[in-house]
Chain A
Amino acid sequence: MTLRKVLPVPEYAVETQKLRRSFDNLIAVDGIDLQVASGEIYGFLGPNGAGKSTAVRMLTTLLMPTSGTAFVAGHDVVRDPVGVRLRIGAALQDAALDPKQTGLELLRLQGRLYGLSGRDTATRISELESLIEIGDAIKRQVGTYSGGMKRRLDLAASLMHNPEVLFLDEPTTGLDPISRSRVWDEVRRINRELGVTIFLTTQYLEEADALADRIGIITHGQLAREGTPDELKRQIGTDVIVARIEGDALAAKRAVENIDAVEAVDVYEEEVSIRVANGASFISAVALALNAASIHVRELTLRTPTLDDVFLSVTGGRFQQQEAIDEEKAR
């Protein structure tokens, strides 16, 4: 303990090397190297089943890594789980709260388990009440709360003890757009006003784009790309020409990929994304090339790259598809 005290504040809030976790024959997290700076909002972006939650469960000491190392707030998740637990807060998927306690009881219990005195607990609750804007409902049983209220209470519970690092596992999945933007505002405030490092997982590109200072794209348990949202988009090129066609998309790809200045072509179903440096000068060339190849074009658009394009170039799959499935499930 004395040794710990003289150690400097860790440079990285989260640092992993070759972090790996397998379940029987399934490799959920496959050798991830992460360095998340203190004070940063880091977005861990990937579709369902990419390994996001498994990684978070390891970083929050709920799950043991199969191999590799992970330090959170300067403490080893394997050797010093309590050291990590004292310094992190986490709101895991689906706001796991006890429905039979009131919001107030739940926060008080949280305070007690983190060793706070009654007075400190009361101080924190009054501070957090304004953050989560839950009003008198805090005296009601959690079972009566809406999804958005539960998320906000969960957020408050994870902040009771002033954590250095906050983990948010899909904080807005299943929330309506208004609740979602409220959670976003709160995440920004927690980061900006309290200086808390935030490690956030999401399957929503717009969420990562809106919140994260840096994004890691995870697919099949591996970190496929990493950078600021702008860096990632810039990797794609400056512009994207999207052709929605009828018929053979691969033939369309062949038709356009030899045009000068085309950097890359990604195909997803009947959609061909053509990455070029200067889209406006080349859109006519693309139209002509498709016409010459007798490909029927339903729609031809020019836009700047999105994270979705990044994801497509990394994985060959679209995010929207996954979101559509989720929305289907939610119905």
Chain B
Amino acid sequence: MIDTPTQPQARVDHRAIKARRAGFIRDIISLGGRALRSIPRDPESIIPALVVPLFFFAVNVGALQDVAEQLPGLDYKAFQLPVAILFAVTGVTRANILVMDIQGGYFDRLALTPVNRLAMLLGFMVADLVLVMALSVPVIILGLIVGVRFESGALGVLAFLAIAGIWALAYNAIPYAVALKTGNPAAVNSSFLLFLPVTFLTTVFVPQDALTGWMAQVVKFNPVTYLLQGMRSLITEGWVASDLLAAFAGIGAVALLSVPLAMWALMGRVRRR
């Protein structure tokens, strides 16, 4: 390789290009775009999220519909649709990418830029929001195909999607907190275990009234019970303020724990210890 002589003209030109802070919103869009681009390149991470809800919907309805519908007034397909959505969105994150960034040093490369530190997390979460919305669509379509009708109408479908998205953000702050705190991919994978009690110790198979014994007690304390209550009300009841409020209270209870946890982990990670 031979050095080319200095070109004063070129030098003047590009010296004019100067760095500045891009701003909070642009940082989120930039990093969110990067996180979104990673999704199709990492299909193995979303295939389960695409298959699992459809599978559970088919199996639960297939196995339990006849038994469950002996309960008066229960439309079991409508009852199961929010469960399928719950499976489609809960714990579907880019936290695995974040933890790889931390391990591989790309997180540091980003931290060297003047990027807003909060955007380093929110970029991923915005991408998650887009992803979980997209993952919910086939589930809702399947529901509509098998005859589930929304009493709350088309707007209710959007509200249903929005609640699922907000729930996903609140829950997913937990794997991000683990990723940021530990920087350890195995720990992030293990955080998936939390999915089991959260999504199964609730009204996942039968309504709350039909539960007995310890299960009846536990579901009262699981915020997801109220989330499902709100989402189901949009299908079977229409717009019921108290049910929707219960859903947001459930999400809020989780967010009250998970969001500060994620912020604490983020601040710890970028604090320059």
Contact = CB atoms under 8 A, between A and B. Distances in A.
Interface stretch (A58-66, A228-236, A254-262): A58-66
Contacts of A114: 19-20, 22, 113-114
A138 to B, nearest CB: 16
Interface residues of B, number: 43
A300 interface: no
Interface stretch (A33-41, A188-196, A323-331): A188-196
B112 A90 contact: yes
A206 interface: no
B153 interface: no
Contact of B19 (A87, A92, A127): A87
A67 interface: no
Contact of A96 (B4, B38, B106): B106
A187 B147 CA distance: 66
Given A141-B41, A189-B3, A193-B11, A92 B109 contact: yes
Interface string B76-120: 000000000000000000000100010011101111111100000
Interface stretch (B26-34, B180-188, B206-214): B26-34
A185 B272 CA distance: 33
Contact of B41 (A100, A115, A124, A193): A100
Interface string B239-273: 00000000000000000000000000000000111
A100 B21 contact: no
Contacts of B105: 92-94, 96
A-B interface, 5 closest residue pairs, ranked by CB to CB distance from nearest: A96-B105, A161-B19, A115-B20, A115-B22, A114-B19
Interface residues of A, number: 50
B146 interface: no
Contacts of B111: 62
B37 interface: yes
Contacts of B14: 123-124, 127, 162
A110 interface: yes
Contacts of A115: 19-23, 26, 114
Interface in A91-134: 92-94, 96-101, 105, 109-110, 112-116, 120, 123-124, 127, 133
A92 to B, nearest CB: 6
Most B C-beta atoms less than 10 A away, residue of A109, A110, A116: A109
Contacts of A195: 11
A100 B108 contact: no
Interface of A: 60-64, 81-82, 85-90, 92-94, 96-101, 105, 109-110, 112-116, 120, 123-124, 127, 133, 141, 154, 157-158, 161-163, 182, 185, 188-189, 192-195
A63 B272 contact: yes
Interface of B: 1, 3-4, 6-7, 10-11, 13-15, 17-23, 26-27, 30-31, 33-34, 37-38, 41-42, 97, 101, 104-106, 108-115, 271-273
Nearest to A91: B109
Contacts of A87: 19
Contacts of B13: 123
Contacts of B42: 100
A229 B273 CA distance: 35
Contact of A85 (B3, B6, B113): B113
Contacts of B110: 113
B108 A109 contact: no
B33 to A, nearest CB: 8
Given A100-B42, A113-B31, A161-B18, 15 more contacts: A60-B112, A64-B273, A82-B114, A86-B114, A88-B112, A90-B112, A92-B108, A96-B108, A98-B101, A100-B37, A109-B33, A112-B26, A127-B10, A162-B18, A194-B11
A301 B145 CA distance: 89
B109 A82 contact: no
Contact of B6 (A93, A120, A141, A192): A192
A65 B1 CA distance: 40
B17 A116 contact: yes
A120 B17 CA distance: 7
Report which residue of B18, B33, B101, B111 has the largest number of chain A beta carbons within 10 angstroms of its beta carbon: B18
B243 to A, nearest CB: 41
A89 B7 CA distance: 22
